[in-house]
């Protein structure tokens, strides 16, 4: 066990985590020339197309150091704030972390928040200064930043370049010398932590685990503590590029187990695996439950696909434990699910994965956050509002509380004014401003979560010319003046387009929404009024004009009463049509509400 090292790689987006993982795999000879490709561990099409890591990926390498063979278990993690739950799970399964900082971009917001996650779990941190071969790199300054942040010695920072392979030998030596070997006892009852799982259509659920105590052997009768169910370990093994079956995996090591589980619900990430005959008495303190930040409804395009969508969501939840969903129904869209996501990118990725991996075409409603409402009848009882239609009537409402976050933004000092005006426009209050260097500033704001859900991140990148990095953490609920803006099409409320907004912005948002919908909803045979309303009060209106046939075309010359008769007849038909007609809303209309500023 003293020759095993478990470590993960943490960094901000685009600081070179996946490329460094490639170099480590090359250097230790874990991949053949045939298997080599860039971002080798990012095995999802979506990850390759967007150039981001979405899932954390575990892989085992073998390396000989000073004549002794070592086993290195590496977990490559995502850098985007929306996938921080993946990072927190990988950290629990490790003893050390490589903290990678880009020599050209220096320390960013996500670097700091991932670092705190690692320090909370007492991980040994190895700072790596990456991309020192870039012409724009300033290694001395960034090394000083790292020393200030970690309180370490400048000699402990390893300069490297994942592209050219510079410094890889030093990193591997540091992993072996600085990261402690796993602690654990092989003779105790089996105790293993599930940190990830994937659904394989041919073999059922593959569960990835880290053994803390005891050992797991092929064919052993094992038990999952949270669900209390027993299984046989049909196959166990280690994760290299392909899966390598083994007879047994001992304490300190990472591996996978296939038990032939077909039901996705039976595997919970963070659960403990133990021996069925001789179970361990204490379950491992897993990770805290995930807190979804953004809620949206996901509905099948065809209501008959509801059960199929449920099965797809369960399989997807296995692979992405931060997805939370509950059944709900909507008058406009039928049966579907209310889903919780960690952010807008997460929502986009889930929607894309449902379409690609499970061939499910879905409609997503306007995302929103979860509010707490209190009524006059009993002001102490909380009504949780996940959906705008759950908000009590304005006449009975006492107050509404909305979730606030503490936002940390690191940017260049030139853009401080732009960033501040954006945050103040989004109802933010500045709480702190620190100059990290003369060039870089850290700004702290208290902001309503609802304001950053839609387009905040994109606009922040625009006003700072791409130089701002952003991270946030929830700080609780605060009372706020919120109203529900309903959209009426042809005098019918469309519940899927309702939104909860701050009273001061209600009029502008209502106006923008009606204008946007006027462009997007196709014209019908009759006039369609598009209205925005708060309760019974209409605050904005647009009209989508009717398509009409020129019924008077065949009368050239002739009496006006003849033309009038034909037009009256057409008008009656249109009126009747408007009473029975219903308006189809295209999917873009639901998503357009998010892009009101475009």
Q: Where are the alpha helices (DSSP H) in 401-536?
A: 416-425, 449-453, 456-463, 506-520
> Which SS3 state, helix, strand or coil, does residue 337 take?
strand
18 is in an annotated binding site: yes
What are the beta bridge partners of residue 447?
405
For 577-584, the CB contacts below 8 A with 24+ separation are 577/525, 577/526, 578/490, 578/526, 578/527, 581/490, 581/524, 581/525, 581/526, 582/490, 582/492, 583/489, 583/490, 583/492, 583/521, 583/524, 583/528, 584/522
- CA distances from residue 418 to 405, 413, 460, 466 in whole angstroms, order as listed: 20, 10, 9, 12
Within 10 A of 311 (CB to CB), how many other CB atoms are there?
12
Q: Where are the alpha helices (DSSP H) in 342-480?
A: 344-358, 416-425, 449-453, 456-463
> Which SS3 state, helix, strand or coil, does residue 115 take?
helix
Query: Longest C-alpha distance within the chain, in Å?
Result: 107
The rounded mean pLDDT for the chain is 78
pLDDT value, residue 235: 85
19 is in an annotated binding site: yes
Handedness of CA 268, 272, 277, 279 (dihedral sign): negative
pLDDT value, residue 581: 59
pLDDT value, residue 288: 59
pLDDT bin (cut points 50, 70, 90) of residue 4 is confident
- Report the pLDDT averaged over residues 504-515: 85
> Which SS3 state, helix, strand or coil, does residue 198 take?
strand
pLDDT value, residue 144: 81
Handedness of CA 142, 143, 147, 152 (dihedral sign): positive
Whether the per-residue pLDDT at 587 is higher than 80: the answer is no
- Report the pLDDT averaged over residues 477-506: 81
Whether the per-residue pLDDT at 39 is higher than 60: the answer is no
Burial annotation 280-290 (CB, 10 A radius, 16+ → b, else e): beeebebbeeb
Share of the chain above pLDDT 70, in %: 87
Q: What is the total residue count of the chain?
A: 598
Distance CA 261, CA 223 (A): 12
pLDDT value, residue 1: 67
Phi-psi region of 100 (alpha: psi -120 to 50; beta: other; left: phi over 0): beta
Burial annotation 101-132 (CB, 10 A radius, 16+ → b, else e): bbbbbbbbbbbbbbbebbeeeebbbbbbbbbb
191-200, 283-292, 387-396, 416-425: lowest mean pLDDT where?
Answer: 283-292
pLDDT bin (cut points 50, 70, 90) of residue 406 is confident
State the burial class of residue 406 (Cβ atoms within 10 Å of its Cβ: 0-12, 13-18, 19+): middle
> Which SS3 state, helix, strand or coil, does residue 185 take?
coil
- More confidently predicted of 586 and 99: 99
pLDDT bin (cut points 50, 70, 90) of residue 108 is confident
Distance CA 533, CA 542 (A): 12
- More confidently predicted of 419 and 56: 419
pLDDT bin (cut points 50, 70, 90) of residue 397 is confident
Whether the per-residue pLDDT at 506 is higher than 80: the answer is yes
pLDDT bin (cut points 50, 70, 90) of residue 190 is confident
For residue range 63-95, list pLDDT tens digits in order: 887 778 888 888 777 766 667 677 777 777 788
pLDDT value, residue 478: 86
pLDDT value, residue 386: 72
133 is in an annotated binding site: yes
pLDDT bin (cut points 50, 70, 90) of residue 105 is confident
pLDDT bin (cut points 50, 70, 90) of residue 355 is confident
- Report the pLDDT averaged over residues 98-105: 82
pLDDT value, residue 287: 57
Handedness of CA 301, 305, 310, 313 (dihedral sign): negative
Whether the per-residue pLDDT at 170 is higher than 80: the answer is yes
130 is in an annotated binding site: yes
For residue range 109-147, list pLDDT tens digits in order: 677 777 877 887 788 888 888 888 878 777 788 888 878
pLDDT value, residue 570: 80
User: What's the order of all strands across the beta sheet hosting 68-76?
Assistant: 57-65, 68-76, 4-10, 96-102, 124-130, 158-159
C-alpha triplet 264, 268, 273: angle, nearest 5° = 115
pLDDT bin (cut points 50, 70, 90) of residue 306 is confident
Instruction: Find, among 403, 527, 400, 409, the residue nearest to 461 by Cα.
Output: 409
Q: Both ends of the chain: CA-CA distance in Å?
A: 57
pLDDT value, residue 330: 72
Distance CA 296, CA 289 (A): 19
pLDDT value, residue 185: 79
Whether the per-residue pLDDT at 290 is higher than 80: the answer is no
How do strand 528-534 and strand 235-239 relate by DSSP bridges? unpaired
- Which token pair is 429? 């209050």
- CA distances from residue 367 to 117, 298, 452, 459 in whole angstroms, order as listed: 28, 10, 11, 18
For residue range 418-476, list pLDDT tens digits in order: 888 888 888 888 888 888 777 778 888 898 888 777 667 767 777 877 667 777 777 88
pLDDT value, residue 344: 74
Written as one string, the DSSP assignment of 62-102 is EEEETTEEEEEEEEE---SGGGHHHHHHHHHT-SEEEEEEE
SS3 breakdown of the chain: % helix, strand, coil, rounded to 5? 30, 35, 35
- Which token pair is 17? 């985590």
- Which token pair is 129? 């200064």
pLDDT value, residue 289: 61
């Amino acid at each position: 066990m003293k020759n095993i090292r478990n470590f993960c790689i943490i960094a901000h987006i685009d600081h070179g985590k996946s490329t460094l993982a490639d170099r480590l795999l090359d250097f230790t000879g874990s991949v053949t020339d045939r298997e080599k490709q860039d971002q080798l561990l990012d095995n999802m099409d979506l990850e390759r197309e967007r150039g981001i890591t979405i899932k954390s990926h575990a892989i085992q390498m073998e390396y000989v150091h000073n004549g002794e063979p070592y086993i290195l278990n590496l977990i490559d993690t995502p850098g985007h704030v929306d996938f921080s739950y993946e990072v927190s799970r990988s950290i629990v399964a490790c003893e050390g972390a490589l903290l990678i900082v880009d020599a050209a971009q220096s320390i960013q917001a996500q670097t700091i928040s991932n670092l705190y996650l690692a320090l909370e779990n007492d991980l040994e941190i190895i700072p790596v200064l990456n991309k020192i071969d870039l012409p724009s790199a300033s290694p001395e300054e960034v090394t000083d930043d790292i020393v200030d942040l970690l309180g370490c010695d400048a000699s402990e920072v390893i300069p490297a370049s994942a592209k050219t392979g510079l410094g890889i030998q030093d990193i591997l030596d540091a992993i072996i010398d600085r990261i402690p070997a796993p602690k654990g006892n092989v003779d105790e009852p089996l105790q293993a932590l599930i940190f990830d799982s994937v659904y394989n259509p041919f073999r059922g659920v593959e569960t990835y685990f880290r053994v803390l105590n005891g050992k797991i052997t092929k064919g052993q009768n094992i038990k999952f503590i949270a669900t209390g169910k027993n299984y046989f370990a049909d196959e166990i093994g280690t994760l290299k590029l392909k899966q390598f079956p083994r007879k047994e995996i001992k304490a300190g090591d990472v591996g996978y187990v296939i038990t032939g589980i077909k039901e996705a619900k039976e595997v919970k990430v963070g659960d403990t695996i133990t021996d069925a005959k001789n179970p361990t008495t204490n379950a491992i303190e897993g990770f805290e439950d995930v807190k979804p930040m953004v809620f949206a409804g996901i509905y099948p395009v065809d209501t008959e696909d509801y059960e199929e969508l449920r099965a797809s969501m369960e399989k997807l939840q296995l692979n992405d434990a931060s997805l939370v969903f509950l059944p709900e129904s909507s008058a406009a869209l039928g049966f579907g699910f209310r889903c919780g996501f960690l952010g807008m990118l997460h929502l986009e990725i889930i929607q894309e994965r449902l379409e690609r991996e499970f061939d499910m075409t879905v409609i997503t409603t306007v995302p929103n956050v979860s509010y707490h409402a209190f009524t006059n009848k009993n002001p102490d009882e909380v009504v949780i509002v996940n959906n705008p239609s759950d908000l009590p009537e304005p006449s009975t409402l006492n107050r509404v509380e909305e979730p606030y976050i503490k936002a940390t933004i690191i940017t260049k000092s030139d853009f401080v004014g732009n960033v501040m005006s954006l945050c103040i426009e989004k109802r933010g209050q500045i709480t702190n401003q620190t100059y990290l260097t003369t060039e870089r500033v850290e700004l702290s704001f208290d902001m309503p979560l609802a304001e950053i859900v839609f387009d905040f991140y994109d606009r922040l990148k625009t006003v700072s010319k791409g130089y701002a990095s952003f991270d946030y953490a929830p700080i609780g609920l605060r009372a706020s003046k919120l109203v529900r803006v309903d959209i009426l099409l042809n005098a019918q409320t469309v519940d899927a387009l309702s939104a909860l907004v701050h009273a001061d912005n209600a009029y502008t948002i209502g106006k923008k929404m009606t204008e946007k919908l006027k462009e997007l909803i196709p014209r019908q045979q009759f006039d369609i009024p598009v209205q925005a309303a708060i309760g019974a009060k209409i605050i904005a209106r647009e009209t989508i004009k009717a398509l009409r046939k020129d019924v008077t075309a065949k009368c050239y010359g002739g009496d006006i009463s003849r033309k009038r008769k034909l037009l009256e007849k057409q008008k009656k038909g249109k009126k009747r049509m408007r009473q029975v007609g219903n308006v189809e809303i295209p999917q873009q209309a639901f998503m357009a509400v998010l892009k009101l500023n475009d």
